[in-house]
Structure 1
Amino acid sequence: MTSIYEDREGVLWIGTVAGGIHKLDMRKRHFIHYQENPGSPNGLSSNNVRSIYEDQAGMLWIGTDAGLDRYDRDENLWYHYQNDPFDPQSLSHNFVRVIYQDRAGAIWIGTSGGLDRFDQETERFIHYINDPVDGNSLSHNVVMFIHEDREGMLWIGTKGGGLNRFDPKTGQFTRYQDDPGNSQSMGSNRLWAFHEDRAGIFWIGTANGLVGFDRETRKYTHYHADPNDPHSLSHNVIMSIYEDREGRLWVGTIDGLNKFEPESETFIRYTEKDGLPNNVIYGVLEDGQGRIWISTNKGISRYDPRTETFKNYDVTDGLQGNEFNGGSYYKSNSGEMFFGGINGLSAFYPELIVDNPHVPPVVLTSLTQGGENVQLYKSVDSLAGVTFEWPNNFFEFEFSALSYANPEKNQYAYKLEGFEEDWNYIGTKRYGRYTHLPGGTYTLRLIGSNNDGVWNKEGVSIKLTIVPPVWATWWFRGFITAVLLGAGFIAYRLRIRSIEAHRRELIELVEERTTELSRTNGLLEKEIDSRRLAEEALARKAALTAVASERNRLARDLHDSVTQSLYSLTLFTQAALELGETGKSEQIKHNLTRIADTAGQSLKEMRLLVYNLRPIALEDEGLVGALRHRLDSVEGRAGVQTRFMVKPEGAIELPTAVEEGLYRIAQEALNNAMQHAHAASVSVCIVVSPDGRRLELEVSDNGCGFDPEGVKDKGGLGLISITERVRDLGGKLSINSVPEQGTTIKVSLEVKPWPR
């Protein structure tokens, strides 16, 4: 050794006479690596470490796949215990999965061949194994975890036999196993991890999810992975369970880390996309600063809950390797952490693992085109600028962050300002390239970090000028632009001339068509006036016809009713006068009675004739008011009992034509009841549907009735008028009448939104 130098990162560089230069990173010495030392007893029995425990005396116990090791670190002495087929008091099996010391000081060993208790005085092992015919024996020989509860009972988890409660005083086992037909059972007999929380609840990691077990109530609570629920467990195979100082439960699975939220009984997942080096989580521990340390299949990760960031360590940082083992993690009373893997055991104090604060210089180390170095006439690391001419508008480059503590983990990024906005983060790669760059001036910026992610954000900058081809220069583009503008102007002028000519043609065509339309419009106006006059003449003729028809009807009704009654009055009066001369008082009295009856009937008929005209009440009060007025003024005065009902109550808004038609239909039905049925009572009912689009009118009486089939072809009794009016309204008519049992006439129609 000829020289020693410590750089700014604490790395020692050692020069030798014939052995070259050696580098020693002092920070890596904080990760202590215990491994097998072939040919020597001073080392592990095997590098495949499966369990770790430090006893009350400070002895380090290590379980491997080749036996049990006890290491006295004060004396640097190793003791090895292995299975001897010829010694029944030796270790039951060389695959040691768990080591535990109870409060009484007894050492318990869980192996793949049963449970052992180690007698430290005789250094012999007492075995507890499965007996198929004894239900109070250990349920399965592959022991995965051991835990002593607050009552001094040992809880033994197995890989295939479920959970066992062991009473050291009686030597009896009580089994807690899965019952496929009972949801209030373990859920799986393959158990991997265990934790008793502050409330005394057992948390058990199985091959089929997480189980919470309340011993007092014997209630099981199951949590499973649901691919459709991002707040469920990330996977059902549970490898580790840990409760931190805040009472938060951390669950490691073979597909991510989970933090349990007890209020909502949901999980927050952490995976590689969040910063973990690998999704297979073997062990979870917490250091004195509240940071979570996690062993995986790709190193160890440190998670800071305050910043929600991960810092990853691997074999290049001094770990035993990148792959660790399930169940092989432990934290001693002094805060020292142990993680076992396939290449030995790593031990460290978390507070000594600090980040490298050194900001590394960044330098350009290579600049090439097509793999050939660019002729620069100076050192590439001192380059400030360079010019490339088309068609050589491309280049490749390499650069480096000068941090030597662990250069394999240095990070890099670059961007070409003026060409792109975002940085290109390339991980541990140190190179990049650009091709087909357009002409212009750019700045190539290169930045890097050390192994702990401390970045040199200034980095190095190189000015790049790309000389474009002639056709891409500004003056060539200006010339082409001017030519195109000139050609465009000429084309524009020609186009304007064409448009002007076309516009003049259109003006002439419009004037011609306008004249023609004016002539046509005059003819149409004359035709419209002629049609209007014809329609007015037809309307007058129709009105005169209606008036004549109404006059004839009134004359017929007067002749058939009132005139006949008046004639009868004349005959009865003359007969009464003649009888008065003879002094026949009884016959005179009879004739006077006939005169009174005939006069009353005439009065009824006159009222009917008056109400056959459109009453003023229909104009003023609408259909409901007009019908009520009719019943009061005609039937009511004639001594006929009336009943009028509207559903729902209130005025009904109907088109004028509908009101007129319905009123005439009711009027005709009431006239029939008075004149022909000699009814003593009549009823009128109007029902409107809730949506206001359907209406029913019903008129019924208790008169003499008739046979509808007998009068269908004969007409009379106003039925023809009623039928025609219902047809005009587009409604449906039903007539129900039985001789001597009265008559009911019902009209149903859709009420269209016609204007009043």
Structure 2
Amino acid sequence: MKTSRSLALGLTLLLATCSARAVDANTRISQYGHTVWRIQDGVFSGAPNAIAQTTDGYLWIGTQNGLVRFDGVRFVPWIPPKGKLLSSGIFALLAARDGGLWIGTSANLAHLQNGNLTNYMDGQGRINSIIQGHDGRIWITRSRVHDDKGPLCEVQDTSLRCYGVADGINSPYAGPLAEDSEGSLWFGSASLLTRWSAGSSTVFTPSASKSGEGLSGVQAIVAAPDGSIWSGRDRRGPGLGLQRLVHGVSTPLNPTLHGSALQVSALFLDRQDALWIGTEDQGIYRLRGNKVDRFSSVDGLSSDSVSGFYEDREGNMWVATTEGIDCFRNERVTTFSTRQGLSANLVDSVLAAGDGTIWIGNLGALEYLRGDRLSSIQSKDGLPGQRVTSLLEDHAGRLWVGLEDRLYVYEDGRFDPIRRSNNIAIGTVIAMTEDRETNVWAEVIGSPAKLLRIQGREVREELPAPGMPAATSLAADPKGGIWLGLVDGNLARYRQGRLETFSPGSAAGSQVREMLIRADGSVLGATSSGLIEWKDGRLRTLTNQNGLPCNSLYGLVADNNNALWLYAQCGLVRVADTELREWWNGAKASVKAETFDMFDGARPWSAAFQPHGSRSPDGRLWFANENVVQMIDPSHLETNSLPPPVHIEQIVADRKNYSPTDQVRLPALTRDLEIDYTALSFVVPGKVRFRYKLEGRDRDWQDPMTRRQAFYSDLPPGTYQFRIIACNNDGVWNEEGAILDFSIAPMWYQMAWFRIFCFAFVMLIGWILHRIRVWQVSMAIGVRFDERLAERTRMARELHDTFLQTIQGSKFVVDDGLEEPLNTEKMHRALRQVSGWLEQAITEGRAALNSLRSSTTLKNELGPALRQVAESGVVPEGMTISASVIGDAQELHPIVRDELYRIGHEAILNAKAHSHGSYLEIGLTYGHDLTLHVRDNGVGIDPSYAMSGREGHHGLQGMRERAARIQGRLTILSSAESGTDISVIVPGSVSFLHPGTGIFSRIRHLYRRAIRNHDPL
């Protein structure tokens, strides 16, 4: 006897719970048909009542304590403009086709458009429903009114036109409101259902109705496209609960749904014409054709008390309950677990048979799925064991089942055992395959592990380890023999008694969990180190370096289009066949892979036994993950083709918020800038990706992935344009995106006029420096010209005063001697005189040539050079010469050194030749300045010569000119009693190449003099 259960296969939904109740963030509850995500946010201080999505993509939630805006990630409480307060309780919302949001509160109606809020009928009743008719008119229903204008009102410009008794409406209040295909309005009040059109009304009263107070009675109305009307009441009983009217006549419901047993609180008809039924205490029912699905708090719904539904632009169904907001969406990967009827969540293998049956190896049961009915074979039904291991369908359609440590063939409702010759248990079968000779091969774990060949339900051959290496997976080779995925990560081929082993290199050591043999003979293997492929004797490994999102693979199967599906650690991965072929041939270094992850319902893990993955004849792919079974249908994957609206929400500059208006002007010296943006896709908000670019700063698009803020620091003043684009969960990009223009003001020193001024000032300074340099160069050239001219003048004087005069005198003597050539005595006297004068000329010429040479050969030997001048040549008899150097000799400027030498040379020669003194003193002092003294005790200089020199002689004048050239001060003191004292003082800044100036130089000079004289300072 088999146990069977019916499954609602039509519902594949995701339930995302965003509630204010105390739940753990990101708690995941698995079940067949949908996956529940709870996201604690805590922004709902009151229960949500209504949901709407405006044309800009934002989702609005009306709660007991205000209005909340949601972008898929963040809940932002909406604050009314100052002076336009709304009542805190919001019970109805309508997103109009013009982009405006109509808000119904406990006291008034309001309209929000482009940030402007308009209030209607303030303090005149609670707004219960708001709809927009086919003709665009806005209708509302109200209750708790304090006037007799009527419960049904139409918005006309900035006022309301209400309809009451005079218009055929006898009820003082109205609740739910709907418009049918003919333009008639339907509304409920107490237990009455009213149809109203053009001043006439028809009331439909259930046979077993009892009027109540307030809004008890009709709670929800839906008008179907076929003209039928669905109504729901909050009371159970005959004629109550859920009803359907066709042409005003109540009609029977789906036999599996007992409408009279429901306390209906909300109704909604989605775009697939499925009816969603919210109840007071039983959660949600979904009626689609003849199928009924139910979701309650047991399935992860935030509460069993439902207050409203809303379907957004992407087809997500939002549910408001007393505890929060839930979101249903189509889920790509379907999960089968105990919630869908499995006997246990310990699934070790799954096999899709040729007849479409899905066999599931579970703990305590062999289960199978046919159509939408799940059946289970347990021990009470003849299952000869508890744990089902590996599964195999042979060429005849028979099912081979590994059960604990035995192997059976299931056929015609019986389990026939496969025995060994000695009748000993085969062992735990972990993998099986059938070769083209119809041999069934089974890998058995034990001590030792072994490979069995079974023919005719008898074990014909046993190949134990280590002769046959231990394997984790088996696959038949279409050319004969079998392939083994080994424990050590290698591939092996066993054919006609011969074993060949192939190593994948870097992937070695990672066991081959499952293999796939393709039609061209290539072998694919799923390992924990990537996908290995063997073809034509070559073995390569595809890893995350080649485009795989992750390396750890649990199973693999090909779909009807030969695309490869990998059950991987990071999700379910699809790789197109062309991508694999191009990678294998070397045309591409990496492959493009599409990943279906946890947001799509994938929960990959490694199953214990083969097969881990299987493909059914209808193209659906099935995977076992050691806990549950998962399924994906590649041919019916819905894609989200709607690009998400992109919005820039705010700018935060130095912790101050700015609204993203057309032109945001930020203050000067703005340092830290944050731009918050969002993209409104609610299918999988966690998969929404962004790219942004700040024109003027970013050269390329920045890829923040899912981050919803851009950060900049120290932007210079200027005008900027920020562009942001985004894609939805399926990679559909909104290339238009959003644009924000903003500017940063400059400080005064960052303004253009200041920069121009600085540029002009720098140019002026540069021009002045250039002119100074030109002047310096011209002065230096002039000085050099003056020096050359002075030197030529000096040489002319010296040649004229000495050498040329002597030559001229010699000529006169020769001429005089030639007048009497026969006068021998006169001729001899003239020749002797000429000889003496020529000797004098030679001496004077040599002196002139020496004056052209440098004064010294070494830079600091001015003193010794002057001493040498004094002691050389003819020293007058009785004259004593002394020379001294005071201070540390310093490096002199060559010009100063030469000129001072020549001045000293002239003074010394004059003293030796004309002073007739008994001593000559030469002193050279290195101090702050450079001083030269030449003293004698001779007869002195005639006062008439001291100032201008002797007529026809240029010695004293030349000394003055030389002193002036080096900025020296020449002093001549002379008297007949004391002799002559000639001194020259040259400033240190001119004399020395490295002068020491300032007070520290003077202190150093005094200190050295004191040390030298052994005197204190």
| Residue 300 of structure 1 pairs with residue 578 of structure 2 | no
| Residue 107 of structure 1 pairs with residue 390 of structure 2 | no
In the aligned structure 1, how far is the partner of 2:540 from the partner of 2:383? Answer: 44
Deviation at 1:342, TM superposition (A): 5.1
In the aligned structure 1, how far is the partner of 2:408 from the partner of 2:351? Answer: 15
Q: Is the 8 A contact 1:206 1:237 kept in 2?
A: yes
> Which residue of structure 2 aligns with residue 210 of structure 1?
490
> Which residue of structure 2 aligns with residue 52 of structure 1?
350
Change in 2 beyond 3 A, CA 1:197/1:168 = closer
Q: How does 1:579-590 map to 2 (within 5 A)?
A: none
Matched residue of 1:494: which SS? helix
Q: How does 1:316-335 map to 2 (within 5 A)?
A: 316-319=599-602, 321-323=603-605, 325=607, 327=610, 328-335=612-619
> Which residue of structure 2 aligns with residue 262 of structure 1?
536
Q: How does 1:201-600 map to 2 (within 5 A)?
A: 201-216=481-496, 218-226=498-506, 233=507, 236-245=510-519, 247-262=521-536, 265-271=538-544, 273-306=545-578, 308-319=591-602, 321-323=603-605, 325=607, 327=610, 328-341=612-625, 343-374=627-658, 376=659, 380=660, 383-498=661-776
Structure 2 residue corresponding to 1:13, chosen from 312, 317, 321: 317
Change in 2 beyond 3 A, CA 1:81/1:278 = farther
Matched residue of 2:505: which SS? coil
Q: Is the 8 A contact 1:93 1:114 kept in 2?
A: no
Q: Is the 8 A contact 2:554 2:605 kept in 1?
A: no
Aligned CA RMSD, in angstroms, stands at 3.6
> Which residue of structure 2 aligns with residue 76 of structure 1?
373
Higher helix share: 1
Matched residue type, 1:458: E
Deviation at 1:495, TM superposition (A): 3.7
> Which residue of structure 1 aligns with residue 327 of structure 2?
23
Change in 2 beyond 3 A, CA 1:408/1:202 = same
> Which residue of structure 2 aligns with residue 149 of structure 1?
435
Matched residue of 2:345: which SS? coil
Q: Is the 8 A contact 2:450 2:465 kept in 1?
A: no
> Which residue of structure 2 aligns with residue 200 of structure 1?
480
Deviation at 1:5, TM superposition (A): 5.2
Matched residue type, 1:398: D
Q: Is the 8 A contact 2:408 2:416 kept in 1?
A: yes
Deviation at 1:244, TM superposition (A): 3.6
| Residue 158 of structure 1 pairs with residue 424 of structure 2 | no
Matched residue type, 2:496: E
What TM-score, normalized to structure 2? 0.43
Change in 2 beyond 3 A, CA 1:75/1:481 = closer
In the aligned structure 1, how far is the partner of 2:737 from the partner of 2:327? Answer: 26
In the aligned structure 1, how far is the partner of 2:780 from the partner of 2:536? Answer: 82
Q: Deviations over 1:225-263 (max 9, x none)?
A: 23xxxxxx4764212221345554322110222333426
Deviation at 1:507, TM superposition (A): 10
Deviation at 1:341, TM superposition (A): 2.2
Matched residue type, 1:448: A
Q: Is the 8 A contact 1:5 1:14 kept in 2?
A: no
Change in 2 beyond 3 A, CA 1:489/1:349 = same
Q: Deviations over 1:556-605 (max 9, x none)?
A: xxxxxxxxxxxxxxxxxxxxxxxxxxxxxxxxxxxxxxxxxxxxxxxxxx
Q: Is the 8 A contact 2:694 2:720 kept in 1?
A: yes
**Matched positions, count:** 473
Q: Is the 8 A contact 1:164 1:173 kept in 2?
A: no
> Which residue of structure 2 aligns with residue 32 of structure 1?
334
In the aligned structure 2, how far is the partner of 1:138 from the partner of 1:145? Answer: 16
Change in 2 beyond 3 A, CA 1:10/1:342 = farther
> Which residue of structure 2 aligns with residue 682 of structure 1?
none
Deviation at 1:121, TM superposition (A): 4.7
Matched residue of 1:11: which SS? coil
Matched residue type, 1:150: R
Gaps of 5+ in 1: 180-184, 227-232, 513-518, 520-756
Q: Is the 8 A contact 2:486 2:492 kept in 1?
A: no
Deviation at 1:480, TM superposition (A): 1.8
Matched residue type, 2:540: F
Q: Is the 8 A contact 2:314 2:642 kept in 1?
A: no
The sequence identity of aligned pairs, in percent, is 24
Matched residue type, 1:301: V
Q: Is the 8 A contact 1:212 1:221 kept in 2?
A: yes
Deviation at 1:426, TM superposition (A): 1.7
In the aligned structure 2, how far is the partner of 1:464 from the partner of 1:164? Answer: 73
What TM-score, normalized to structure 1? 0.56
Matched residue type, 1:409: K
Matched residue type, 1:315: M
Runs of 4+, deviation exceeding 6 Å: 136-139, 501-512
Q: Deviations over 1:311-370 (max 9, x none)?
A: 111232233x25453642111223221012255211232110142211121111232234
In the aligned structure 2, how far is the partner of 1:245 from the partner of 1:412? Answer: 41
> Which residue of structure 2 aligns with residue 116 of structure 1?
407
Deviation at 1:462, TM superposition (A): 0.4
> Which residue of structure 1 aligns with residue 454 of structure 2?
167
Deviation at 1:496, TM superposition (A): 4.3
Matched residue type, 1:205: G
Q: Is the 8 A contact 1:413 1:424 kept in 2?
A: yes
